[in-house]
Structure 1
Amino acid sequence: MSSKKQTSTLVVVGLGEIGISIGSLLRRSGFKVIGFDIEEEARVRAQKKGLESSTSLKGAIQACEGSTPRIIWLALTSDVLDRVVEELRIMLTPGDIIIDGSNSFFKETVRRHDDLLIYGINYVDVGLTKHIKAGGGALFELSVGCDKRVFVMVEHVLQRLTSDGYVRVGETGSGHLVKMVQHAVEYGVTTALAEGVSILENYKDGLEVDVPSAITTFKTGGLISHRVLDWLAETYKTKGRLSKISLKHAKPETEMEIGYIIKEHPTKVLEAASFHRQKLHLDVSAITILVRAMQNQFSGRRTLHHIKESEGTWGSATDKD
């Protein structure tokens, strides 16, 4: 850790589910957090959570004058990133740091880093995985891509967002690359599990198969060991939960990245899983419902009600599946 004075004021741009979670964790850890979102409704939600918010991006940046370097956390959807980054480029000065916590394509992240490097502005990319804690709330696992020197400057921020799940995985772009591959693997794992459980369902009546108990044996008696098995068993045990699972499907921001993996690398299992992922909203089957149940558990949104409550607009980025 650096012996220099650490930045204690931070701006969060994008006050959706993820942005508010990031801001709240940092505020509780002693940071002064200034939030900004173009949507008034998002700013009001943030204020109800105890976060200070600005009605303009310029105002948010000005509120952290005196902090060196200024650190800006972006919790945005990827389609508005370039516009916001360009606005920030004009406002920031050499040495300031932008942390991109969006689901960006890693090649675009590298391009933004290279563009900002000319102006002396540091660009850090973070692949986020959100975990719901017992009793509510969230912590994150962070795959961080940046120069080693910059990592030291932002480490005190990253530490407050997780128990121990943050690591520098390489240079800028690598954080989003790792998250991209993680998403692809999760597609394969959840689809395979759903297919296996659906086979058990086919024999549930004739052999009186106890499906939740059978799922637990996957973890205790085999090579598969993941909390998704606990979630899947819990979903089964909760009466009526599967019938309430929303099959609402928006094209995830990571779909382009998964397409890149399939095109550039021989990954037959991931290709099949990606094909199934794209059919989720068309194929209403037991497998579809089970995959959606697992994905909802990842994000903490278990039913249609939870999904509606977490939706946002421009800056209201959520943890995309």
Structure 2
Amino acid sequence: MHILSLFSLAAIASVASALSGCGKPIPRYFPAPGQSKTLPLPGTDRTYRIHIPANYNVNNRTAVYFSFSGAGRNATEQEGLSQFSNPQFNPDGIAIYPQTQNGVWLSNPKANTSYPNDLDYTNHLLDYLEENLCVDTGRIYANGKSNGGGFTNVIACNATVGSRFAAFSIVSGAFHNAVNVPGVGFCEPAPRKGGYPFLFFHGTVDQTAPINGNASAGILPVIDILEQWAHFNGCGLDSLWTSNVTTFAHPLVKHVSWACDGRNGIVQFYREGNNGHCWPCTRPNDDYISLGLSKCPMGHYVFNATDYIFDFYSQYRLDV
């Protein structure tokens, strides 16, 4: 019986190895290390953009960072905006920029909810990456801007897909009230030991996804989503953000940090005074240039969100 058990474990290990991309050469159609490329996702009608770090080693399990674009924007634009492929911020990880199906993500009311929807696509893309590259399944992270941020929230709320990501970050999130969207309208994350680390950024003069919401457009206040994740992470009566505001080096910025169930800073929020629907960056990026001073009145911002995102991610890994 003992020998049979050892044989069974060896067989399981052999199957697991066959499904892993570790030890295998990079598929020839993937970009070379240090490069980016837009590719079709086999078995679907979808595409995605991938950046493999210059120091990628087929024998070393590598972190993966997803970044979802805003509505009407594409994967290439999100790569430039987020700077997730920039070794200054991400020297060692694989960066993934998924492409929308029809210009928007769940939970936007215009998103295609039929099977396979965006959640199915994300799950399939994860499977594909893990089969073809040496992926550290304990260090997979999700980020999104605007509607992509709203979809990042949808991912975390989904017990199947959300349970595969170690931590989440959202910039200028557009959180649509999606109670009537099948499989999306209710937040039911899978219980897990480490909780759901979340980092949020939002400008006080955001006209596209107002920080206090827009009832007529079905956009929820950011504070509702923050307190939701503080609650899911076990903050209980301390889920309200008003008791958690801390000081920040710049007077325009308010930093809110929750300590839930003994986990300090598991939910954090940077409230960006005078910033609009713009990815915070100390130099003018595509948001500040394309949206202009009417929507991004400062022309740049007082910190780089991407710096903070990768620092936040570095503190969390998923127990798998």
Shorter-chain TM-score above 0.5 = no
More strand, by proportion:
2
Structure with greater contact order relative to length (CA < 8 Å, sep ≥ 6): 1
**TM-score, normalised to structure 1's length?**
0.32
Using the size of structure 2 for normalisation, the TM-score is: 0.32
